[in-house]
Amino acid sequence: MNPYVNLSVKNGVSTIEFFHQKSNSLPGDLLKQLTESIIKSSKRKDIRVVILRSAGNRAFCAGASFDELITIKDIDTGKAFFSGFANVINAARKCPKFIIGRVQGKAVGGGVGLASATDYCFATEYASVKLSELAIGIGPFVVGPSIERKIGLSAFSQLTINANKWQTAKWAKEKGLFAEVYETMEEMDSEIQLLADKLASFNPESMQGLKEIMWEGTDHWDELLIKRAEISGERVLSEFTRKTIEKLSNT
């Protein structure tokens, strides 16, 4: 199957699904499509609520595409790539509709960032999380503000510093990343549909007002996250990072 981002709408609920054969990792073109899909959902009056999900059942999102990272040769290209994650997060926070996250499996790096950018996130008990950026010589600079906003500085620091350690879905729920955790995808999907249908029947103006309050204090992120993307774009050019990515790409 080829990578894709698909947007479908039913009964006021927009479902945005992405897929990549390498554990739903995200190259630049998929990041662009995700941003565009969220913006489209923001503008359509027939959409009341958004569900963000990935395909498959083993991995929610492996974060940045190593295949694309290894091709970055200069700071501008690096900044442009990491700006893709910044654009998705900014589109999600500015979307006037609530975004429900569906995390069915492991989330790494940018995948944790995507989950943190949703407004109410469901997960299964298989949805372990890890911020591995430091281990490859970069750091979660772009996704950091969104994750820290959701789980707090202490938990964010734990994930960042212990970059090779998986934290369980239970840990993520305790810290506030996940709102609900289920044993099976079937149970999770049933509850997601129930909440989405309820939200689709609520007053859209009230939901928009509440979302603005929930994301208060993040107006500067348009500028902040792009600056962070430049930092990541510079770090990815380091000899340490390039050798590490090459090694991981060949395993």
Report the CATH number at residue 125. Answer: 3.90.226.10
Residue 175 to residue 217: CA distance in whole angstroms: 21
The answer to whether residue 19 is domain-embedded is: yes
Average pLDDT score over residue span 25-47:
98
The answer to whether residue 43 is domain-embedded is: yes
**Predicted pLDDT of residue 250:** 76
pTM for the predicted model, two decimal places: 0.97
Answer for the pair 49, 206: CB distance below 8 angstroms, yes or no: no
Sheet holding 59-61, edge to edge: 59-61, 106-108, 129-130
The answer to whether residue 27 is domain-embedded is: yes
Predicted confidence (pLDDT) per residue in 40-92, tens digit: 999 999 999 999 999 999 899 999 999 999 999 999 999 999 999 999 999 99
In a 13 Å sphere around the CA of 108, the CA atoms on its Cβ side amount to 21
Give me the percent of the chain exceeding a pLDDT of 90. Answer: 96
> Residue 186's CB: how many other CB atoms inside 10 A?
10
Domain containing 163: what range? 4-200
The answer to whether residue 150 is domain-embedded is: yes
Residue 110 to residue 166: CA distance in whole angstroms: 14
AA letter at 18: F
Predicted confidence (pLDDT) per residue in 201-224, tens digit: 999 999 999 999 999 999 999 999
**Predicted pLDDT of residue 60:** 98
pLDDT at residue 251 is higher than 70 = no
Q: Decide: helix, strand or coil at residue 2.
A: coil
**Predicted pLDDT of residue 248:** 82
Contacts of 78 (CB under 8 A, 6+ apart): 72, 230, 232, 233, 234, 236, 237
Of 109-123, 139-153, 234-248, the poorest mean pLDDT is in 234-248
The answer to whether residue 155 is domain-embedded is: yes
The answer to whether residue 212 is domain-embedded is: no
Would the CA dihedral through 234, 235, 240, 241 be positive or negative? Answer: negative
The answer to whether residue 250 is domain-embedded is: no
Answer for the pair 60, 169: CB distance below 8 angstroms, yes or no: no
Average pLDDT score over residue span 109-136:
98
Q: Work out the mean pLDDT of the chain and round it to a whole number.
A: 97
**Predicted pLDDT of residue 231:** 97
Answer for the pair 78, 72: CB distance below 8 angstroms, yes or no: yes
AA letter at 1: M
The DSSP element (H or E) to which 18 belongs, if any, is strand 13-19
Residue 165 to residue 159: CA distance in whole angstroms: 8
The answer to whether residue 112 is domain-embedded is: yes
Closest CA to 188 of 9, 51, 20, 4: 51
**DSSP output for 55-114:** SSSSEEE--B-HHHHTT--SHHHHHHHHHHHHHHHHHHHH-SSEEEEEE-SEEETHHHHH
pLDDT at residue 172 is higher than 90 = yes
- The number of folded domains in the chain is 1
Q: How confident is the model at residue 247 (pLDDT cuts 50, 70, 90)?
A: confident
**Predicted pLDDT of residue 246:** 86
